Amino acid sequence: MTTTGKRLLLIFLLAIIWGHGRGVLAAEGKTYLQLGDDAIDCDDYKKAITEYNKEIKLNPTDARAYYGRGHAYLCMGKEDLATRDFDKAIEECSKAIKLNPKDAKAYYGRGNVYFLKGLDVNRAMPDFMKAIELNPRDADAYYGLGNCFRLKENIEQALFNYTKAIELKPDYGAAYLTRGETFTAKGDYDRAIKDLSAAIKFKNKSWLGIAYYARGQAYENKGDHDQAIKDFKKAVELEPNNAVAKSSLEQELSEKRK
């Protein structure tokens, strides 16, 4: 998997929650799906799996629960278990589509799973496109499609779809983050810095370190090494185990000492 692919997958994992759907009501007015999603937001993957298990036990055809549990397993590094759940989610989404070919959420959900399952953009893209056709105001589908184009190195189409996602959902922090990184790839560092600064303002702890590192890269490429050092330091502060950010910081500091 390419570096871009790994990063997009990580951001996608941290940013996307595939709607709660109906789900089975648990406690405090929330469903087991919502409790599972809340646990993932807190990086408590074991609790998330426990909640999704409860949903699956009561509703064994709930594709969203299998997706959520697979998501948690993938975050834990248990790829075999994640693949099993993703396959089941795809199966249930496909059944839903067969029953109702106009089910935009089912297409979007299946596209999500294809993307998470090995970055299968060739299968994910048609599903995201169909979801958009059925629901042109689905910001998440545009975001997913943008990620697919980004992996295919179609920069302009990636930017178009990220922009559509932001237009539909102005507080879409992850879309600002990925659009900013894409502007960096294009060499448009000023617009990259603007987008990445917007992403940072959302203070989403799940990917805040990634945002600082990405902005540091944009500053580095622009030649503003002092700002790059500040951002790399912040990225390392937020993610002490981020070897790439550490390496970039050390390289910048080494260059400055010369």
Query: For residue range 73-105, what is the model confidence (pLDDT) as tens digits?
Result: 988 999 999 999 999 999 999 999 999 999 999
Give yes or no for a contact between 178 and 149, defined as CB atoms under 8 angstroms apart: no
Residue 37 one-letter amino acid: D
Give the DSSP H/E element, type plus range, for residue 122.
helix 121-134
- Rounded Cα distance, 175 and 164, in Å: 9
Radius of gyration of the chain (CA): 19
Residue 194: other Cβ atoms inside 10 A: 17
**How confident is the model at residue 205, as a pLDDT?**
83
- Rounded Cα distance, 61 and 112, in Å: 17
**How confident is the model at residue 221, as a pLDDT?**
96
**How many helices and strands (H and E) does the chain possess?**
14, 0
**Beta pairing partners, 25:** 31
Q: What is the domain extent for residue 228?
A: 171-258
pTM of the model: 0.87
CA nearest neighbour of 206 among 19, 35, 37, 40: 40
Judge if 84 and 195 occupy the same domain. no
CA nearest neighbour of 11 among 143, 194, 170: 143
Give yes or no for a contact between 19 and 144, defined as CB atoms under 8 angstroms apart: no
- Rounded Cα distance, 55 and 65, in Å: 7
* DSSP state for residue 200 in the 8-state scheme: H
**How confident is the model at residue 16, as a pLDDT?**
55
Judge if 162 and 188 occupy the same domain. no
**How confident is the model at residue 204, as a pLDDT?**
86
Q: What is the CATH number of the domain that holds 206?
A: 1.25.40.10
Domain boundary among the residues 154, 169, 184 is at 169
Judge if 138 and 152 occupy the same domain. yes
Judge if 54 and 110 occupy the same domain. yes
Domain boundary among the residues 121, 149, 169 is at 169
**How confident is the model at residue 24, as a pLDDT?**
47
Q: State the total domains in the chain.
A: 2
**How confident is the model at residue 11, as a pLDDT?**
62
- Rounded Cα distance, 105 and 91, in Å: 14
Give yes or no for a contact between 149 and 122, defined as CB atoms under 8 angstroms apart: no
Judge if 68 and 79 occupy the same domain. yes
Domain boundary among the residues 169, 186, 205 is at 169
DSSP 55-96: HHHH-TT-HHHHHHHHHHHHHTT-HHHHHHHHHHHHHHHHHH
* DSSP state for residue 22 in the 8-state scheme: S
Give yes or no for a contact between 11 and 177, defined as CB atoms under 8 angstroms apart: yes
Residue stretches of the chain with pLDDT short of 70: 1-29
Residue 189: other Cβ atoms inside 10 A: 20
Judge if 152 and 189 occupy the same domain. no
